[in-house]
């Protein structure tokens, strides 16, 4: 059973990094296929915290080849910084490679991201400001720079000059912000080219050879379904497709090769940035969950919005991704509450919805309809068998499982690599 995909089933920050890290010791390849350093995947090993933005979470397992696939947008400076930080902490990074087809986030993408957001004012999206959207815009406008372009630096420099004239006009004349400087970019990117050249590969034949040899491939999604450019809460979304199907476009591996598609969902919900969030708790309980769950962005440090689990979102994640399993994270954060709620439907303008309407405007008016469960008070953070969880806690998980129709195969009850309950082998 060699091809696994792990994707976010909510609005990101579900704990995908932890799930990938916990499983990646059996992987021969761990591959990112979309997004960029807007992601922040936290992995805790023996009390030591690692926050990875661009590197696949499998990087801590030296036997797994880590590939940043063609669908990723790469900030080369951030990539080198992350590699350097890991090396300083004694980790080898020789197994990290980047696709020559992946697009480069250029300094003007970051400047444009920030300028656009500030021009939007009240209507801002709340992006991470990492240049993700503008980089994908250039990719689809066919004026982007690819990682492989760094290998022919003379041509890169020539094309950069042409692009920069245009981009600086937009920055200075339209948005009235500072220009970015050619010489400075050339100087920076010459260093990146030199330092990255041995890691730049054509990933497609390598991955297909791995498939032929029946190697175990792990695809690590960033962000999540509800931030998907097509299926998410548009326009409050990211600029890529964080779904299982996107491994075809973002890594060149057909989706029908996937054996297990694991959706990661918190036992509650969080969201950073703007946009509709039907089960949001704007009260003291929301604050309690934020504090107890440490719900502050690992990329931007922004406080995350918090709320109850939304089954419409979870079912949608099963449908769009063809999930075979769920990994439910942070169940321990709900310990100590008198009651725990889960949203089973929406009420919008007097009509009941059992699916997510496409309009952000409609969603903003939705009222959640909840099913309420008794809470539990016992510490569950050291439990490793489902049967040992308090009965009320089991009831909650079993209800969610029955509703979504796929197995909740893994439950995470703490931040450490080992704090997991496995209900069904993810390897069978």
Which residues contact ligand IMP (rule: CB under 6 A)?
11-13, 38-40, 125-128, 130, 132-133, 222-223, 227, 236, 238-239, 272-273
Residues 97, 67 contacting (CB under 8 angstroms): yes
CA distances 286 to 127, 145, 223, 347, Å, are 22, 42, 22, 21
CB nearer ligand IMP, residue 13 or residue 310: 13
**Cβ 38 to ligand IMP shortest distance, Å:** 4
CB closer to ligand IMP out of 126 and 245? 126
Nearer to ligand IMP, 150 or 222 (CB): 222
Query: Strand, helix or coil at 25?
Result: helix
Nearer to ligand IMP (CB atom), residue 240 or residue 324: 240
Sequence-ordered alpha helix ranges (H) in 4-75: 16-23
Residue 16 CB, nearest distance to ligand IMP (Å)? 9
* Closest of 140, 113, 138, 53 to residue 273, by C-alpha: 113
Q: Which is nearer to ligand IMP, 156 or 236 (CB)?
A: 236
Separation between Cα atoms, residue 273 and residue 113, nearest integer Å: 14
Q: Which of 327, 311, 330 is nearest to 319 (CA)?
A: 311
As measured in angstroms, the least distance from the Cβ of 326 to ligand IMP is: 18
Minimum CB distance to ligand IMP smaller for 329 or for 335: 329
Residue tagged active-site, from 13, 21, 149, 325:
13
Task: Identify the bridge partners of residue 45 per DSSP, sorted by sequence position.
Answer: 48
The structure tokens 């569950």 sit at 380
By the 8 A CB rule, do 30 and 56 touch? yes
**Shortest Cβ distance from residue 124 to ligand IMP (Å)?**
9
Q: b/e map of 121-140 (b: 16 or more CB within 10 Å)? A: eeeebebbebbbbbbbebbe
Q: How far apart are the first and last CA of the chain?
A: 7
Q: Please, which residues have CB within 8 angstroms of residue 177's CB and are 6 or more apart in sequence?
A: 111, 114, 115, 171
Question: ∠340-343-349 over CA atoms, to 5°?
Answer: 140
Helices (H) and strands (E) in the chain, counts: 12, 20
Q: From the CB of 382, what's the least distance to ligand IMP, in Å?
A: 28
- Other CB atoms closer than 10 Å to residue 1's CB: what's the count? 11
Total Cβ atoms within 10 A of residue 254 = 13
The answer to whether residue 13 is catalytic is yes
- The rounded distance, in Å, linking the Cα atoms of 173 and 110 is 17
Decide whether 132 or 363 has the Cβ nearer to ligand IMP: 132
379 catalytic, yes or no? no
Q: Kindly state the smallest distance separating residue 65's Cβ from ligand IMP, in Å.
A: 23
Smallest distance from ligand IMP to CB 369, Å: 26
- Strand extents, DSSP E, 95-174: 96-99, 103-104
Residues in the chain: 428
Kindly state the smallest distance separating residue 84's Cβ from ligand IMP, in Å: 22
If the CB atoms of residues 8 and 414 are measured against ligand IMP, the closer one turns out to be 8
Nearest approach in angstroms of CB 121 to ligand IMP is: 16
Do the beta carbons of residue 134 and residue 113 sit within 8 Å?
Answer: yes
Q: Which is nearer to ligand IMP, 236 or 373 (CB)?
A: 236
Antiparallel, parallel or unpaired: β 217-220 and 3-8: parallel
Unique residue bearing structure tokens 């990211």: 238
Give the active site residue among 25, 28, 41, 230.
41
Query: Any idea which residues carry the catalytic annotation?
Result: 13, 41
């Amino acid at each position: 059973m060699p091809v696994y995909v792990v994707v976010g089933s909510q609005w990101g920050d579900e704990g995908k990094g932890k799930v990938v890290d916990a499983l990646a010791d059996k992987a021969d390849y761990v591959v990112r296929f979309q997004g960029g350093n807007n992601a922040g995947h936290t992995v805790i090993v023996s009390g030591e915290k690692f926050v990875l933005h661009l590197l696949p979470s499998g990087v801590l397992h030296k036997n797994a080849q880590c590939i940043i696939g063609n669908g990723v947008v790469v900030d080369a400076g951030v990539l080198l910084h992350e590699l350097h930080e890991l090396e300083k902490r004694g980790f080898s990074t020789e197994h990290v490679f980047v696709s020559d087809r992946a697009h480069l986030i250029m300094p003007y993408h970051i400047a444009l991201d920030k300028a656009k957001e500030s021009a939007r004012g009240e209507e801002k999206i709340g992006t991470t400001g990492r240049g993700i959207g503008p980089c994908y815009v250039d990719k689809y406008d066919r004026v982007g720079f690819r990682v492989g372009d760094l290998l022919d630096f003379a041509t890169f420099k020539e094309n950069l000059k042409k692009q920069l004239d245009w981009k600086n006009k937009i920055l200075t004349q339209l948005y009235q912000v500072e220009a970015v400087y050619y010489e400075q970019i050339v100087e920076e990117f010459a260093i990146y080219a030199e330092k990255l050249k041995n890691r730049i590969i054509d990933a497609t034949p390598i991955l297909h050879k791995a498939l032929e040899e029946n190697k175990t491939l792990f695809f690590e999604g960033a962000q999540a379904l509800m931030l998907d450019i097509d299926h998410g809460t548009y326009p409050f979304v990211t600029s890529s497709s964080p779904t299982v199907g996107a491994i075809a476009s973002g890594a060149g591996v057909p989706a029908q090769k996937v054996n297990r598609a694991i959706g990661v969902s918190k036992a509650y919900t969080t969201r950073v940035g703007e946009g509709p969030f039907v089960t949001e708790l704007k009260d003291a309980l929301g604050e309690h969950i934020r504090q107890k769950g440490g719900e502050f962005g690992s990329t931007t440090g922004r406080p995350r919005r918090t709320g109850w689990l939304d089954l419409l979102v979870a079912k949608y994640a099963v449908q769009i991704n063809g999930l075979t399993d769920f990994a439910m994270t942070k169940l321990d954060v709900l310990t100590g509450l008198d009651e725990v709620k889960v949203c089973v439907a929406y009420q919008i303008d007097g009509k009941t919805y059992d699916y997510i309407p496409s309009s952000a405007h409609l969603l903003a008016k939705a009222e959640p309809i909840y099913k309420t469960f008794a809470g539990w008070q016992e510490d569950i953070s050291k439990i490793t068998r489902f049967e040992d969880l308090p009965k009320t806690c089991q009831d909650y998980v079993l209800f969610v499982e029955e509703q979504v129709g796929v197995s909740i195969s893994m439950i995470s009850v703490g931040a450490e690599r080992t704090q997991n309950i496995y209900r069904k082998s993810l390897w069978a």
